[in-house]
Each structure stands twice: as C-alpha cells, then as structure tokens.
Amino acid sequence: MPHHWDVEADVVVVGFGAAGMATAVTAHELGAKVVILEKAPEGQEGGNTRVAGQGYLNTSSVESAIAYLNALCGPYTVPQAMVRVWAEEMGKNNAWLESLGGDPQEHQHPPVGIEFPDLPGADCVHKFHDGPTYGYSYTWQLFERLVKERPIQVLYETPGQELIQDDITKDILGVRSGAINVKASKAVVLTCGGFENNQQMIRDYLPGVPYCYTSGSPYNEGDGITMAMSVGADLWHMNNYAGPSMALKVPEVRTSFSMQALHYSKEPPGGMIVVGPDARRFADEKFRTRHGKVPVNGRWLPMVTPCPMFLIFDHTHFSAGPLYDGHPSHGWTQIVERYDWSKDNSVELAKGWIKRGDSVAALAGIVGLDPAVLEDSVGRWNRQCETRCDVDFGRTLMMTPIVNGPFYAVELSPSMLNTQGGPRRNEKAQIVRPNGMPIPRLYSSGELGSIYSYLYQGTGNLGECLAFGRVAARNAVAEIPWG
Ligand SMILES: Cc1cc2nc3c(=O)[nH]c(=O)nc-3n(C[C@H](O)[C@H](O)[C@H](O)COP(=O)(O)OP(=O)(O)OC[C@H]3O[C@@H](n4cnc5c(N)ncnc54)[C@H](O)[C@@H]3O)c2cc1C
C-alpha cells in the first residue's frame, strides 16, 4: 500500500479508446468519479479506435447473435454465459449511443459486410458508424466528445504500469504510473488494448509469425497483459488476431504501410507477385482474407507468411503512381503519421525502401534471393497470365505479366489490425484467475482479452468495446468502496 495517493477516483480506467470511453461514460452516468489514465500524449490517444474503419456492430436478434458468435468461435468455444451477455448487449449499442446524442448510420447493408454469411445466425449482422461516412475517425470523434463534455479527468502520458494489490485480500486498490499512485476506491478497469507492438509477445503467442507490425496505434504494447498477469490473471485468446496481411515496415515509421497492389479491390497497372525467401510464390496475392484467415482443407486458418517476403513488380507498375495507399480513411500511418509518399516513388527508391535491378536476376541478387529461382517464378507467372489461369494458387485479379524492366522489389512483413488476446474475463467483465475466481475489483473490456477466439466478424471489436465497456462499468460502480 503506498504512503500517499496522488489522484483518487471511484473507478480508474486505463486506456482511452472505445472501451475506455464506454466504461468511463457509463460509470460517470451512474454517479461515479472517473479518472482515465492514457499512455499517449494528447492528440494521439484513442488507440486503434481512432484509426479504425469506424464501424461498430449492432446485432438485430439475441438468439441469432448467440448462434453466430458460437459459430465464429467454432471449436474454440467460449462460455455460454459470456456469449449471451455479448449478444444481449451488442443489440443495444445504437440505443445507448443515441441516448447520448449519437446518430448511428448503417453502412454495408446486409448481405454486404457479413463476413461469414454461411454461418448460422449471420443475418443478425448490422454495421454502423457515426458521422457523414465511415472511416476518417468520425465515430471516434463522437466517442472523444462524450468523454470530454463530462467531468472525467484524462491524464495523458500517464501509462498504467503496475496494479496496486492488497497483500492479504488481493483486492486491486489502484494503479501506479511512475511515481504517481492513483487510488480506485471501487475498481480498476483495464481498457489499454492489445499487444500489437510487443514483438516478444508476438513471437510467444501468435501462430506462424516471427514478427508482425500494426496498422493501428503504436502505444498498444501489451501493458494490460503484463499488469494483469502480475496480479494472478489467466489469459485467453492469445493466439487469435485480426491478421496477418502483408505490408511494408521501415524503421523510420512506427506503423506499417499498406501497398496498393495488395488491395483485393484495386487493380493498378503492371505485373506483381509476392515470393517468400525461396523466391517462390506461396499464395493468391489478391485473395480477400477474412481478417487474415484463408480457407485450408475446409477450415479457416491464418494466411501463411514465410518471412521475409518480397513484392516483385515491373516498371509499368512502378510508374503507375504511388505504391503506398495513403488515403486517410483509416490506419495510423495514414491518419496520424501522415507520411508523404512521393507521387513517382522516387524518394522511397532513393531511401532503399524500394530496390531496383536491371533484370530479374540482378534484382534477386540485390535482395538476397536465388536468381535462377526468381527468374523461374516470374517466367511461370507470365505464362499463367497468357492463359489467364493461375494453376498454382487460383488468383484471378491483376493477371498481368512482369515484363517491362527495370524490375523492383519491396520487402513485406506480416502486418495486423489488432490482437484479440489478454486477461480472461467473465460475463461480469471481471478479470479471473486460472481457477475462474475473479480478482477482486479488477475488470476489463475491449480488445484486451476480447471474446473473439477464432473467426472474426468485422465491426465486432468496436461493438464489443461498447458492450463490455458498459458491463464493466455497471459492475465496477456497484462495488462497495474499500477503506
Ligand atoms: C486500421 C484498423 C481498422 C480497424 N477497423 C475496425 C472497424 O471498422 N471496426 C471494428 O470493430 N474494429 C476495427 N478495428 C479493430 C478496433 O479498432 C480495435 O480492436 C478497437 O479499437 C480496440 O479498442 P480498445 O478500446 O480496446 O483499444 P484501443 O482503441 O487500442 O485503445 C487503447 C488505448 O490504451 C492506451 N494505452 C496502451 N497502453 C496503456 C497503458 N499502459 N496505460 C494507459 N493507456 C494505455 C492506448 O494509447 C490507447 O489509447 C480496426 C483496427 C485497425 C488497426
């Protein structure tokens, strides 16, 4: 127990994204004094929520939603009490936001936007955003306003670093951030996102990726997992994530660059393939994955990403415009970093982010691939373009040969939107120990220990932040203050 408390509140919320907002606003509306601790400086708070596509789920029927979530979890089952709470709350997101002055707008009217339309209950899916269109941080702007128009103190650049726990009762009494002790007389709610920027946790927990980079917030480093584990929490869903995709990552920029050629919806001119370290193709580069999952033998599995991977393309593609999709509708690089990619790719070529060779064999030598194998891969691709039949991986888009030299390569890394794992929570949003017993006065919501164990329905994360943010707040506020 610290000798003094620097800040005191009934409910301390750690992390100011969608989950933090829903928790803080609900707790405030129920009469609690709320403080939010945020790691990022003011202007960079909001986490993945700030740069997301901005869609949130509002399901239309509790029973269909139960069926759909159970089907999404498949063999990675989740307790039915959790599934029911998820389904009941997920249908109330619009009403809750409307009650606070929001203006829910449906986009991608079903069946468009249903990620797994063949699964039972899929017709419950309805996706909403706030503001004139989805993307562009509009829904986040509503969330931010809901906090800022209330007397909820936000302490920026104040990361939660350690939970203060009573030695005997094991109650969570507050949070330590450097020399600052923050008292939570009722409860602490962890809403500080996933481990997208913690390469050790990525190696330890995510399947098939020796490293992976995010297109979301660089501040999510798994701190909530470390804090919760240190007070005895169990973990769940650590192997599930919204990824991988393939993107450029350079040391100078914290987050990943999305490449135009890899968008399933775009067909820029010129020839392009992706090869692995053996200089061979390994997938349909234009396949629209389901948040990183691809069909394998009748099951959905994470796409393989043999690292290092290389985008190989010709001069027609190079000269067709910027290779990077910098459109600022979503993504941290586009919205916050705002890297100004040159229109003719010349700056990035000079920086060495793009490599060039006069021939395919010369390019292979420059990036460390076997020249004969890369020539063979390009030749094979070009012949398949002539017959418009990719017998290897069934690609149907951008069936353009790689013929017009010089030739280019960009090293690609596995990338992701967000992780789903974290401390295991129960239907009251309490964080539990391996024996299932709650850690007293400790709650969570959001992608830190999300309910999603296997397949993911787009907009489900923000929907869950709202749903379980309310659940966590209601139960936290109902605690009897200690001391
Ligand atoms: C590009 C992109 C597009 C996406 N599109 C969608 C979409 O359209 N719909 C959808 O449902 N999901 C989408 N997702 C996923 C979704 O954005 C996230 O899962 C969701 O925003 C998580 O919300 P959260 O509140 O749990 O965490 P976050 O929004 O990430 O917020 C966590 C906050 O905690 C802070 N923090 C971190 N560590 C600490 C600490 N130690 N102490 C204090 N604060 C800390 C962070 O700075 C951040 O502000 C997308 C993700 C990305 C990256």
pLDDT digits (tens, 9 = 90+) for 119-160: 999 999 999 999 999 999 999 999 999 999 999 999 999 999
* Distance set, CA 45 to CA 39, 40, 42, 305, 453 (Å): 8, 5, 6, 31, 27
Q: Ligand 1 center to residue 289 CA distance, Å?
A: 21
pLDDT of residue 265: 92
Both 286 and 428 in one domain: the answer is no
| CA 379 distance to own-chain centroid | 37
What are the structure tokens assigned to 384, written together? Answer: 């398949």
Q: Ligand 1 center to residue 468 CA distance, Å?
A: 14
Which atom of ligand 1 has the smallest separation from the CA of 221? Answer: 38
Average pLDDT over every residue of 34-42: 98
**Is the previous residue joined to 406 through a cis bond, with omega within 30 degrees of 0?**
yes
Which among 416, 447, 462 is the end of a domain? 416
Whole-angstrom Cα Rg for the chain: 23
Q: Could you report the per-residue pLDDT of 71-110, keeping only the tens digit for each?
A: 999 999 999 999 999 999 999 999 999 999 999 999 888 8
Both 220 and 260 in one domain: the answer is no
Question: Measuring CA to CA, which residue among 66, 76, 67 is closest to residue 120?
Answer: 67
pLDDT of residue 123: 96
Both 204 and 294 in one domain: the answer is no
Structural domains counted in the chain: 2
Q: How far apart are CA 164 and CA 463, in angstroms?
A: 30
Both 199 and 64 in one domain: the answer is yes
Q: Is residue 140 part of a domain?
A: yes
Both 441 and 412 in one domain: the answer is no
Q: Ligand 1 center to residue 17 CA distance, Å?
A: 6
Query: Is 473 within 8 Å of 189 (Cβ atoms)?
Result: yes
Both 450 and 369 in one domain: the answer is no
Instruction: Return the DSSP state at 242.
Output: S
Q: Kindly tell me if the per-residue pLDDT of 34 is higher than 90.
A: yes
Q: Is residue 355 part of a domain?
A: yes
**What residues have CB less than 8 Å from 257, skipping those under 6 apart?**
247, 248, 249, 250, 324, 333, 339, 341
Give the residue ranges of DSSP H helices in 270-407.
315-318, 332, 346-351, 360-367, 371-387
Both 224 and 272 in one domain: the answer is no
Q: Is residue 253 part of a domain?
A: yes
Residue nearest to atom 50 of ligand 1 (CA): 52
CA angle 349/351/354 to nearest 5° reads 35
Q: Could you report the per-residue pLDDT of 197-212, keeping only the tens digit for each?
A: 999 999 999 999 999 9
Which among 416, 435, 466 is the end of a domain? 416
Q: Is residue 127 part of a domain?
A: yes
Average pLDDT over every residue of 108-116: 90
pLDDT of residue 108: 83
Would you call 280 helix, strand, or coil by DSSP?
coil
Q: Ligand 1 center to residue 193 CA distance, Å?
A: 5
Which among 373, 397, 416 is the end of a domain? 416
What are the structure tokens assigned to 117, written together? Answer: 């339309």
Query: Is 389 within 8 Å of 236 (Cβ atoms)?
Result: no
Which residue bears the tokens 């349909």? 284
Both 101 and 217 in one domain: the answer is yes
Q: Could you report the per-residue pLDDT of 330-365, keeping only the tens digit for each?
A: 999 999 999 999 999 999 999 999 999 999 999 999
Query: Is 202 within 8 Å of 211 (Cβ atoms)?
Result: yes
pTM of the model: 0.98
Q: 483 falls in which pLDDT band (50, 70, 90)? A: confident
Q: Is residue 2 part of a domain?
A: no
Both 150 and 226 in one domain: the answer is yes
Q: Could you report the per-residue pLDDT of 216-258, keeping only the tens digit for each?
A: 999 999 999 999 999 999 999 999 999 999 999 999 999 999 9
Which atom of ligand 1 has the smallest separation from the CA of 460? Answer: 11
Q: Is residue 467 part of a domain?
A: yes
Which atom of ligand 1 has the smallest separation from the CA of 37? Answer: 43
Mean of the per-residue pLDDT values for the chain? Answer: 97
Both 149 and 15 in one domain: the answer is yes
Range of the domain at 148: 7-241+417-477
Q: Is residue 483 part of a domain?
A: no
Residue 294: give its domain's CATH number.
Answer: 3.90.700.10
Residue 447: give its domain's CATH number.
Answer: 3.50.50.60
> How many Å from the N-terminal Cα to the C-terminal Cα in the chain?
12
